[in-house]
Amino acid sequence: MSRQTPLHAAHIAAGARMVDFAGWDMPVNYGSQIEEHHAVRRDAGMFDVSHMLALDLEGPDATTWLRGLLANDIAKLKEHGKALYSCMLNPDGGVIDDLIVYYFSPTSFRIVVNAGTADKDVAWMRQRIAATAANVTLEARRDLAMIAVQGPNAREKTWAALPQVRAASENLKPFSAVAVDDLLVARTGYTGEDGFEIALPANRAEAIWNALLAAGVAPCALGARDTLRLEAGMNLYGQDMDEGVSPLDAGLAWTVDLKDEARDFVGRAALVAKPATRAVLGLILEDKGVLRAHMPVFTAHGEGETTSGSFSPSLEKSIAFARLPHGVETDATVEVDIRGRRLKARTVKLPFVRNGKALV
């Protein structure tokens, strides 16, 4: 049986269509996925992301241990609440998960991992703690819910619903978080728009969701979240990367920090030994059809494959990410095999859309 978030009853009451997602009963839409998508691009929408797992890492060895665990270097984090996006790799350089780390002090961090990989992630982290004899504790915070409020008017509408957070969050920089009473308000997201991701006690989730609803924030679900992150050029674990794919081949080389030669993180040796063999570009379909994942792409430099694809409500065209041979440049014409037909597409630099504006 699928697990339920603290907002499950609110989704049912709102008439959401529910589906199983990574073992959780989650809303896929509340009626119109397109309208939800546009609400985020043009105004403000909110998502229940309580299925994701927050982990609190504490202890004298927290900084050293994280520097050995992650491909990105958390030594960059100096300010309280500052966040970092990173991949967590296996020894072969494959991606176990992509995650966000929030810095509170050299001995205190919060890590937010994906729902579908949460159990695997925790098991791997505990294994690494034991293997390194690190003096740290790792606590899974299933007592928390998380709500993402995204869009050009997201912050103003959050402050209307939760006026107590305005003073602390008004000058909050992107990719930073601040604690306000029992809430953690982070200026992060997965849509390519501004806004907040709010971690809060599970028993307060429905009241805060309803307050945001009353402030004019539209409830949005998994369907819109996927088209928004696709337009924004943001990877989805399990589609755009997994344990068999290096971050260097998944368009995530920018998250791999090799500057400190003395820092040996899990997977480093494998990445150094095997540089990137693929480049990730966006595709815009020029013929009629819909791009999906795992479609062959034919280029002048060899064959590639789409990893994520869908119809873009903002561009009103079909778009995709494609893992292509090196040498393929932007604005090149390629062909995609869609049900046995080779249809023309154009390569573009990611992202497609950011902050409400088309970039291609």
Q: For position 159, what pLDDT does the model report?
A: 98
Reduced to 3 states (helix: H, G, I; strand: E, B; else coil), residue 11 is helix
CB neighbour class for 193 (10 Å; exposed up to 12, middle 13-18, buried from 19): buried
Show the DSSP H helices in the chain as ranges: 8-13, 33-42, 62-69, 118-132, 154-161, 166-169, 205-214, 222-231, 268-273
Q: Of 297, 236, 257, nearest to 72 (Cα)?
A: 257
> Distance (Å, rounded) from C-alpha 133 to C-alpha 173?
35
> Distance (Å, rounded) from C-alpha 73 to C-alpha 77?
8
Reduced to 3 states (helix: H, G, I; strand: E, B; else coil), residue 212 is helix
pLDDT in tens, 71-117: 999 999 999 999 999 999 999 999 999 999 999 999 999 999 999 99
Cα dist. 156→170, 220, 221 in Å? 9, 18, 21
> Distance (Å, rounded) from C-alpha 171 to C-alpha 217?
21
Provide the 10 A C-beta neighbour count for residue 312. Answer: 23
Q: For position 1, what pLDDT does the model report?
A: 78
Question: Quick one: which H or E segment has residue 174?
Answer: none
**Domains (range + CATH), the chain:** 277-358 (2.40.30.110)
Q: Which amino acid is at 167?
A: A
Q: For position 298, what pLDDT does the model report?
A: 98
Per-residue pLDDT of the chain (360 residues; tens, 9 = 90+): 799 999 999 999 999 999 999 999 999 999 999 999 999 999 999 999 999 999 999 999 999 999 999 999 999 999 999 999 999 999 999 999 999 999 999 999 999 999 999 999 999 999 999 999 999 999 999 999 999 999 999 999 999 999 999 999 999 999 999 999 999 999 999 999 999 999 999 999 999 999 999 999 999 999 999 999 999 999 999 999 999 999 999 999 999 999 999 999 999 999 999 999 999 999 999 999 999 999 999 999 999 999 999 999 999 999 999 999 999 999 999 999 999 999 999 999 999 999 999 999
Buried b (16+ CB within 10 A) or exposed e, 126-159: eebbeeeebebebeebeebbbbbbbbbbbbebbb
Q: The whole model's pTM is what?
A: 0.97
Cβ atoms of 131 and 22 within 8 Å: the answer is no
> Distance (Å, rounded) from C-alpha 215 to C-alpha 348?
38
Do the strands 45-48 and 218-219 form a parallel or antiparallel pair, or are they unpaired?
parallel
Above pLDDT 70, what percent of the chain?
100
Residue 318, CA atoms < 13 Å, CB-side half-sphere: 19
Residues paired with residue 253 on neighbouring β-strands, in sequence order = none
